[in-house]
Copies of this chain bind each other. A is one copy, B any other.
Amino acid sequence: MALLNYDYIDFIIHNEYQADLLKGRFGLEKENVRVDREGNLALTAHPKAFGNKWENPYITTDFSESQVELITPVFNTVEEAYSFLEALQDIVVQELVEHEEYLWTSSNPPALPRDEDIPIAKLNDSFEDGYRLKLAHKYGRIKQLLSGIHYNFSFDEGFLKKLYAASNNGREYKDFKDSLYLKVARNTLKYRWLLIYLTGASPVFGTTYMEPCVALSRHLDHESRFFPNMNSLRNSSCGYRNEKSLYVSFDTTEEYVHDLKHLVDTGELIHTKEYYSPVRIKSAGGGDPLKNLLDNGIDYLELRMFDLNPLYRNGISLQTLKFIHLFLVYMLLIEDEPFGEMEHQQAVQDVDALMNEGIQAKWGATGAGVTMKETAVEIISSMAEMIKLLQPDHQSLLDVLEVPRSVILNADLSTASIVKAQINESSYIQYHLEKAKQVAKQSIETGYSFTGFEDMELSTQLLLKAAVKRGIRYEILDRGENFIALGKGQQTEYIKQATKTSMDSYSTVLVMENKVVTKEVLSKQGIRVPKGIAYTDIQEALLDYKHYENNRIVIKPKSTNFGVGITIFINPFNVMEFKKALQMAFELDTTVLIEEFVTGKEYRFLVMGDEVVGILHRVPANIVGDGVHSIEQLIHNKNQDPLRGKGYKTPLERIQLGEAETMFLKNQSLSPSDIPLEDQIIYLRENSNISTGGDSIDCTDEVDASYKQIAVQAAKAVGATFCGVDMMIEDIYEEASDYNYCIIELNFNPAIHIHCYPYQGKNRKANEKILDLLFRS
């Protein structure tokens, strides 16, 4: 039995390394096969939207062209890795839905064509393509479709260095580190049956799986097969194993590399990576992995035995990830026991026994007639003791053990049992297809956000999603400031708030920031702006009264806009009124503008490069009557839209029914309980801001082309690549003339999410467009 090494624990506690020991670096890899809307393996190509398979570090394919592999970066917490996995899945699912495809939620394959019709991934690399062909030949293509989750783990580098310094036994750091990881690897191999018991989630498979297995299996229904007690097909003898049980030493890195090379040299393996060990030791660098391992030592462990769990959207639960982490820490802190070829074989037999007899099976390694169940209970108790010693006040860590403990005590509570029971009420294909469609629905509903990055601005989340989708590397430079770096090959782009980029020069931004200068530059280019004069002396302005008296004008302080100190004269005014308005404005600024009053509706043109990507018109918060519901009910209903939220984290804000709205209704002689007529529009606000529940209406396709040309011309006039052009237009269907439009402002940091998720209209994919421009080559 796994016994805690108390000397080791004392040493950790004595040196106050407990917190560091529980730190770590985490990465996840997940495979899912793509299926069509009937649950058949998708025979289509890997979507182009995910870029080049070779270059995309997040989304690629595995053996089959139909097998999507999601790879998270390495994070300091399992939570972050888990969130990112969800985000990656959202990105993929949202793209697949456009092709009526889904991610299959079982580790076992969906309805398959003949083996030879299963498409092998095309990588345009003679070695990789050849290797996959050889695998197909050796194992059949079907088996290669078994999918799962890989868990990559390393201890905190600082912890390892401190531990090395404190133990100081004359070895080199690399050797110290390698022996530590190898101990964890050996123990994990030995006790992996427990992890497999706890995570197994593929007890049922379809009739199109490999013939011998199907033939030996039992019927759940006419299309669903199973073996009694088998909870993970992948980990069973029908699963993803090498042809023979191959022995590779985990005693030293050198022996590991030597044994692996020997297997290749003697023809047992096509390539070292064909060695399907449930635990692999890995080195982080590029190039030849085995050479790296010898030169630089072990950087992390890869655990490869986890099934896709259809009960969780992500294919695995966060609690499971946390348990695995604690389990790995535990593997470090238990006694080190010899683990040679015999122990290796025994560990394989333990897994086979689990598959055949379940947790009640005898645990063969001790030979003492103890069951796996008894052993498992002891391990959980021992882990609890470890946690109490390391972190006396962390109940949350102890909580992680609760589900595993129950599942050990009652096999009916295991994921495999639950999945099998649920499939029994439906059928293998139907059940998983239903799950896959549920996942897709969830992804689409909250699809605007980037899971794990919801604290950032929506525009930045959308840009990051688009980047990850096409395999552009990202780095969060300053989270609070929405400052990121995106990279592809040698190119690195620094981007703040999605549209502040290297493609706009500083002086361009400064021109747009200064309204007076912007107007000057635009009007020199013959673009209509509100005519006006800037005054720094009230006397001077007063002298010009005669010049204005018969016009509609706006008097405003230079530096505040849509704010206080603004007077609008639509009707004729006398010199005293003129003076009063000037005085009010001059109280707020040393420069006051007198501008012509511009009529029409306001439109936001989003210009990117030479193109108008989207045009939006904003409408004040409103509801449309149906002759049945009250205003209050209609607001409630409208607010159900998942695009509406609170606090700028959603594309639209919920409509409030506060003081301002009630007052606005009252002014229309309405109350919240009134029932509007069918199709009657009731406005709840005067202002059209999205932040107070306004609607964004995409009208990109309606606006006459002449205005788009003007918007692009305006952006060019100030040299802008990314530019929000605010234009007043009398009638969007009428061609632009010298009298029917006016540009009132240029914005150097236009929001993009409003064009991606408008209240009405298409997603204009402004995030994709930014990347098209930044990464042109």
Interface residues of A (CB under 8 A from B): 16, 19, 477-478, 480-481, 483, 493-496, 500-511, 514, 516-517, 520-521, 543, 546, 590-591, 719, 748
Q: Determine the distance from Cα of A502 to Cα of B512 in the docked complex, in whole angstroms.
A: 13
Q: List 29 A-B contacts (CB under 8 A).
A: A16-B546, A19-B543, A477-B516, A477-B517, A477-B520, A478-B514, A478-B516, A480-B590, A480-B591, A481-B514, A483-B514, A494-B508, A494-B510, A494-B517, A494-B521, A496-B510, A500-B506, A500-B507, A501-B506, A502-B505, A502-B508, A502-B719, A503-B505, A504-B505, A504-B506, A505-B505, A506-B508, A506-B509, A506-B748
* Nearest CB of chain B from residue A551's CB, rounded to whole Å: 15
Do A507 and B502 touch (CB < 8 A)? yes
Q: Determine the distance from Cα of A517 to Cα of B492 in the docked complex, in whole angstroms.
A: 14
Q: Determine the distance from Cα of A348 to Cα of B508 in the docked complex, in whole angstroms.
A: 57
Please, which residues of chain B bring their CB within 8 A of the CB of A478? 514, 516-517
* Nearest CB of chain B from residue A162's CB, rounded to whole Å: 9
Q: Determine the distance from Cα of A590 to Cα of B479 in the docked complex, in whole angstroms.
A: 12
Most B-side CB within 10 Å, residue of A496, A510, A521: A510
Please, which residues of chain B bring their CB within 8 A of the CB of A502? 505-508, 719
Return the chain B residue nearest A547 by Cβ.
B158
Which of B481, B496, B516, B543 contacts A507, CB < 8 Å?
B496
Please, which residues of chain B bring their CB within 8 A of the CB of A507? 493-496, 500-502
Return the chain B residue nearest A20 by Cβ.
B543
Q: Determine the distance from Cα of A619 to Cα of B506 in the docked complex, in whole angstroms.
A: 32
Please, which residues of chain B bring their CB within 8 A of the CB of A494? 507-508, 510-511, 517, 521
Return the chain B residue nearest A499 by Cβ.
B506
Please, which residues of chain B bring their CB within 8 A of the CB of A501? 505-507
Please, which residues of chain B bring their CB within 8 A of the CB of A19? 543
Q: Determine the distance from Cα of A591 to Cα of B478 in the docked complex, in whole angstroms.
A: 11
Count identical subunits in the complex. Answer: 2
Do A483 and B719 touch (CB < 8 A)? no
Please, which residues of chain B bring their CB within 8 A of the CB of A483? 510, 514, 517
Please, which residues of chain B bring their CB within 8 A of the CB of A503? 505
Return the chain B residue nearest A524 by Cβ.
B492
Given A495-B507, A505-B505, 16 further pairs, Cβ under 8 A: A16-B546, A19-B543, A477-B514, A477-B516, A478-B516, A480-B591, A483-B510, A483-B514, A494-B521, A496-B507, A500-B507, A501-B505, A501-B506, A501-B507, A502-B506, A504-B506
Please, which residues of chain B bring their CB within 8 A of the CB of A520? 477
- Per CB-CB distance, the 5 closest pairs between chain A and chain B, nearest first, are A502-B505, A494-B507, A502-B507, A477-B517, A504-B506
Please, which residues of chain B bring their CB within 8 A of the CB of A590? 480
* Nearest CB of chain B from residue A722's CB, rounded to whole Å: 9
Q: Determine the distance from Cα of A591 to Cα of B483 in the docked complex, in whole angstroms.
A: 15
Return the chain B residue nearest A514 by Cβ.
B478
Please, which residues of chain B bring their CB within 8 A of the CB of A496? 507, 510
* Nearest CB of chain B from residue A552's CB, rounded to whole Å: 21
* Nearest CB of chain B from residue A112's CB, rounded to whole Å: 47
* Nearest CB of chain B from residue A719's CB, rounded to whole Å: 7
Please, which residues of chain B bring their CB within 8 A of the CB of A591? 480
Please, which residues of chain B bring their CB within 8 A of the CB of A506? 500-502, 504-506, 508-509, 748
Return the chain B residue nearest A534 by Cβ.
B478
Q: Determine the distance from Cα of A501 to Cα of B493 in the docked complex, in whole angstroms.
A: 20
Q: Determine the distance from Cα of A520 to Cα of B478 in the docked complex, in whole angstroms.
A: 10
Most B-side CB within 10 Å, residue of A480, A508, A517, A521: A517
* Nearest CB of chain B from residue A717's CB, rounded to whole Å: 10
Most B-side CB within 10 Å, residue of A483, A504, A506: A506
Please, which residues of chain B bring their CB within 8 A of the CB of A481? 514
* Nearest CB of chain B from residue A547's CB, rounded to whole Å: 8
Q: Determine the distance from Cα of A421 to Cα of B500 in the docked complex, in whole angstroms.
A: 68
Return the chain B residue nearest A494 by Cβ.
B507
* Nearest CB of chain B from residue A321's CB, rounded to whole Å: 22
* Nearest CB of chain B from residue A476's CB, rounded to whole Å: 10
Please, which residues of chain B bring their CB within 8 A of the CB of A505? 501-506
Please, which residues of chain B bring their CB within 8 A of the CB of A516? 477-478
Q: Determine the distance from Cα of A590 to Cα of B505 in the docked complex, in whole angstroms.
A: 31
Q: Determine the distance from Cα of A480 to Cα of B477 in the docked complex, in whole angstroms.
A: 34
Q: Determine the distance from Cα of A508 to Cα of B492 in the docked complex, in whole angstroms.
A: 12
Q: Determine the distance from Cα of A514 to Cα of B495 in the docked complex, in whole angstroms.
A: 12
Q: Determine the distance from Cα of A482 to Cα of B766 in the docked complex, in whole angstroms.
A: 35
* Nearest CB of chain B from residue A512's CB, rounded to whole Å: 10
Return the chain B residue nearest A475 by Cβ.
B520
Q: Determine the distance from Cα of A546 to Cα of B496 in the docked complex, in whole angstroms.
A: 35
* Nearest CB of chain B from residue A774's CB, rounded to whole Å: 10
Return the chain B residue nearest A505 by Cβ.
B502
Q: Determine the distance from Cα of A496 to Cα of B512 in the docked complex, in whole angstroms.
A: 12
Do A510 and B500 touch (CB < 8 A)? yes
Q: Determine the distance from Cα of A509 to Cα of B501 in the docked complex, in whole angstroms.
A: 10
* Nearest CB of chain B from residue A72's CB, rounded to whole Å: 22
Most B-side CB within 10 Å, residue of A19, A508, A509, A516: A509
Q: Determine the distance from Cα of A413 to Cα of B507 in the docked complex, in whole angstroms.
A: 54
